[in-house]
Amino acid sequence: MIPPNPLLGTAFHAVGAFSAAICYTPQKRVHGWSWQSYWLVQAAFCWFILPILGAWLTIPDLAAVLREAPQGAMFAAFALGTAYGIGGTAFGMAIRHIGFSLTYAIAIGLSTVLGTLLPPLVAGTLGATLSKPGAGWVMGGIAIGLLGIAFTGAAGRMKERDLSATASLAGFSLTRGLLLSLLAGVLSAVYGFALAAGEPIADVATAHGAGVFRGNVVYIFANTGAFLSTAVYCLWLHWRHRTLAEVVELPAGSVKASLPVNWAMAILTGCLWYSQFFFYNLGHVRMGAYQFTSWAIHMIMLILFSIIVGVALREWRGARPRTQAAVSLAFVVLVGAVLSLTYGNHLAELAATPRP
């Protein structure tokens, strides 16, 4: 039994969210590759190689765990992970139609609500869980987090208008963008179901002494499912545009391009993206009575750190004072959401701790 420690759990969630917030910054140094080349290489490491390697390094007697784990749980985690991969692809496509800020606000906001509340609701445990001490702080934290995400999206849209000669994107399509964002939000939330479906596998890992690393074995199935759907889409793009060869040989005349640098940046992206799941598990197993809030904490902190990274990279430089005030307000609201969620978890832990 892993003792609850919401404060430490939130700290691990912070590490994972920070890794997710910075994982795409290496893409700026990739030259001479199409999007599908970069995405396929980073996905191969994030969704396929590292989950297997991480489980092999942290799960004792992994072969025995995989033999004993229920096949139904393996299949369910894999299938739900495949849907999650489709959501990630829809997210990338939505950005092209309505921009990064609106896509993040809609997709991440929807994923936060659905990915947090639906798993315990479907399992029939939400009502009993919310009857425990601290429930008001937990639900308040989710609501405040959604408000902060909405503020972040509004501030981002204001920044895009401030820093662009035109108020709209090339290829802007509100209808397509909204539909893709909704699809991304719903299917991204499915990842929580993939992890829940894999719990019987994690239980077998616990029986073999996996301890706090028990969740790493589930990633073998949930993440490889996501890799399957992602790889199919990337390979289709390669076939359509005849670009697969650039993975091993850059096109002639590529400016500032270096094949080793491209590979290194794509692998770094994959490592950072996988790190969020590694630390998510370490935080999740410590959240105690309100363990289901892990997804909300992770998503809210991802947006929070994205703001910090954007400021550090001077992405808000040149924006109007009104826009900078808006993103500052969003930052404060998101911090309040994390504090509210953490405090609610802490109250539940105190109530469950036997008194001398």
Structure confidence at residue 15 (pLDDT): 95
pLDDT in tens, 165-205: 444 445 566 678 788 888 988 888 888 889 889 999 999 99
Mean pLDDT, rounded, for 27-54: 92
pLDDT of 241 higher than 80: yes
Structure confidence at residue 99 (pLDDT): 66
Confidence label for 266 from pLDDT (cuts 50, 70 and 90): very high
In 3D, which of 274, 271, 289, 315 has the Cα closest to residue 9?
Answer: 289
Q: Which residues contact 333 (CB under 8 A, 6 or more apart)?
A: 144, 147, 148, 151
pLDDT of 142 higher than 50: yes
Domain ranges within the chain, ordered by starting residue: 6-351
Alpha carbon separation from 97 to 102, 149, 177, 229 (Å, rounded): 10, 20, 5, 21
What are 333's two structure tokens?
């609201």
- pTM of the complete model beyond 0.75: yes
pLDDT in tens, 58-102: 999 999 999 999 999 999 999 999 998 898 888 877 877 776 666
Task: Tell me the one-letter amino acid at 324.
Answer: Q
Structure confidence at residue 116 (pLDDT): 85
Mean pLDDT, rounded, for 198-219: 94
Q: What is the mean pLDDT of the chain?
A: 87
Residue with tokens 């390669």: 238
User: Which of 144-158, 162-176, 272-286, 323-337 has the weakest average pLDDT?
Assistant: 162-176
Mean pLDDT, rounded, for 223-245: 94
Structure confidence at residue 356 (pLDDT): 58
Mean pLDDT, rounded, for 287-310: 86
Written as one string, the DSSP assignment of 305-355 is HHHHHHHHTTTTTT--HHHHHHHHHHHHHHHHHHHHHHHHHHHHHHHHSPP
Structure confidence at residue 52 (pLDDT): 96
pLDDT of 8 higher than 60: yes
Mean pLDDT, rounded, for 247-256: 81
Higher pLDDT, 130 or 208: 208
Other beta carbons less than 10 A from residue 161's beta carbon: 14
pLDDT of 329 higher than 80: yes
